[in-house]
A = this chain, B = another copy of it.
Amino acid sequence: MCRWLAYSGAPVNLEELLFKPQHSLVMQSKHSTMGATTTNGDGFGVGWYGAGERPGIFTSTEPAWNDRNLRELSAVASSRRVFAHIRASTGSAVQQTNCHPFRHGNWLWMHNGVLAGFPRIKRDLVLAVAPELFPAIEGTTDSELLFFLALTFGLEQDPPAAVARAVGLVEETARRHGIGNPVQMTVATTDGETTWAFRYSSARVSRSLFHSTSVSTLRHQYPDNPLLHELSDGARLVVSEPLGDLKGAWREVPESSCVAVHGAGEELSDFEPLAP
């Protein structure tokens, strides 16, 4: 499937974030250790917030590990909020419009997982997207469609509720088509100020998800770790798999839950789909 990383905090250089950690996201594109696939080489994407409200997006169909532009961009760009994603396609075409993160206005969305039986339920799900949002769908993935369902159900007003309704609709639609356990997901979404990350699967066997703990505490524990000196006290990371093996640095996000990261604080809550 895929791997992703969501950063928030004081502006950090993208090279420090994406390339330099011991088990960096770019390294995971070739050697993921906890993913459903070891290789995540079907394109990648980075979304980052700058001066304006609307984030920039850089996507490519090349593997992250050999993309020249990703290395160049990372060397010069810094950002206070970064979404980065490496893709292992579960069937849809390898093309830029299928690369995460997806964007709508000032929102970003990225997904690791799959909607089982997607070709059979896609038409019904497409019909459930608000007609005024429909023309903004650019690609053909299950992930982007889930984003547009969440937008339809009020993502911009109440993200946890909107995602719960989107997932509920997918499960109900799949049930009608005789597809069991349709949803497998870790999802991150942000409006540029708060990041919400979800870990859920219909079968309650979800892909791995972790968030970072307090940087200042860690810095006391590991005064010699270089990454910790790059990060601000308020820095927060939510990741598919830890970027290193520093003890105490990572906490698993529990099954069927949502973590909201705002400033230096995070709030954990249960996540349950809401049937339509």
The interface of chain A, by Cβ under 8 A from chain B, is 30-31, 38-39, 41-42, 48, 50-52, 54, 56-63, 65-66, 68-69, 72-73, 75-77, 89, 93-97, 119-120, 122-123, 126-127, 131, 134-135, 138-140
Bound Cα distance A123, B137 (Å): 11
B56, B122, B131, B134: the one contacting A134 at CB < 8 Å is B122
- Tell me which residues across on chain B come within 8 A of A54, comparing CB atoms: 75
B50, B72, B97: the one contacting A76 at CB < 8 Å is B50
Contact A96 B76 (CB under 8 A): no
B41, B60, B68: the one contacting A63 at CB < 8 Å is B41
Bound Cα distance A96, B76 (Å): 19
Closest to A94 in B: B66
Contact B56 A76 (CB under 8 A): yes
Closest to A118 in B: B135
Bound Cα distance A223, B95 (Å): 43
Contact B93 A138 (CB under 8 A): yes
- Tell me which residues across on chain B come within 8 A of A94, comparing CB atoms: 62, 66
- Tell me which residues across on chain B come within 8 A of A139, comparing CB atoms: 140
Closest to A134 in B: B123
Shortest Cβ distance from A155 into chain B, in angstroms?
20
Contact A96 B68 (CB under 8 A): yes
